Chain A
Amino acid sequence: MPLVLVGGLVFGFGLGFSHMARPEVVIDFLTFEDFGLLFVMFGGSIVAGIAFWILPKLSDSAPLTGKPYGRRLKSFDRNVLVGGSIFGVGWGLSGICPGAAYASLGVGNWPILYALGGMFLGAYAQGVWRSRQTETTTAVPSDD
């Protein structure tokens, strides 16, 4: 838990530093005004990618939890495309994604509460709907 807190602090500090916590910056990126956000996504995924690649070779499991090191792999199905498209419309409209929204609250951008409220509402709606749909099948918890 302390490690997750430290990780969260660095994560949030990084999102603040990158200015991705500002919807304007994301919208400028999506409308080709400023391509800087590419460096956030690539920089982040490359550093994380090195960890996901090297650590499993050095050790079988994580020291604090004993959880085996594995890559983040999800099964592919239609939901990835449908959900990705819905998320895309939302991201393009609002200029904010979940992690950046938490960080945005941290820097004192209180209007982001509109977006966070919307996110919880959306997550709740799909959860209620899918709980009804999938009572028969077993759901697998995910790590995102």
Chain B
Amino acid sequence: MFADILGSGTLEALFPNGISRYAIGGLLVGAATALIYYGTGIAAGASTFLESSLSYVSGQSRFQQYRGSRDWRVVFTVGIIAGAAIYAFVYQGEAWALAGSAWLTEVQPWRLFFGGILVGIGTRVGKGCTSGHGICGVGSVSRTSLVGVATFLLVAIVTANLVAAAGVSP
């Protein structure tokens, strides 16, 4: 139906890998968030783990404020790692294939590292990441989160296009 409206080839151009993997993956992420919320009342986001885990090794007040939640955040993160490993094992027949895996990123280490530093600073200063703001906050129709998502999405689009225009690839 959509293909008729948009003209043939449009859908393939917009979604070269189809939409099912994205839609099913998104529904699972949402279902996981809903399940944790149902049982515990917690709106689980991923990025506080970065700070709460530092409370194990640092006495800084900024990290110590998360002492109460740091244990379940470790469990949540271990779950995410293990869940993704199960996916890779079931669908690719391999997890932890250290060489030759399609999963190994070719994005250059300096991009990952410096980007990672900015992600670490930005998500914590900005009160949330793609899961905290993007899934839980948007799901809560929080105006703060909607503005937060719009901000990081827009800046990320500009950044990624500038990097690509500068000829950096991958």
Contacts and interface: CB of A to CB of B under 8 A. Distances in A.
A35 B14 contact: yes
A144 to B, nearest CB: 3
Interface of B: 14-19, 21-51, 53-54, 58, 60-63, 65-66, 68-69, 71-72, 75-88, 91-92, 94-98, 101, 103-107, 109, 111-145, 147-149, 151-164, 170
Contacts of B45: 72, 99, 143-144
A74 interface: yes
Contacts of B141: 49, 71
Nearest to A94: B115
A83 B139 CA distance: 20
Majority secondary structure, A binding face: helix
Contacts of B82: 8-9, 12, 106
A96 B119 contact: yes
A111 B112 contact: yes
Given A9-B83, A123-B121, A102 B77 contact: yes
A17 B112 contact: no
Contact of B54 (A7, A95, A127, A130): A127
Contact of A144 (B19, B47, B98, B153): B47
A111 to B, nearest CB: 5
B115 A17 contact: no
B102 to A, nearest CB: 9
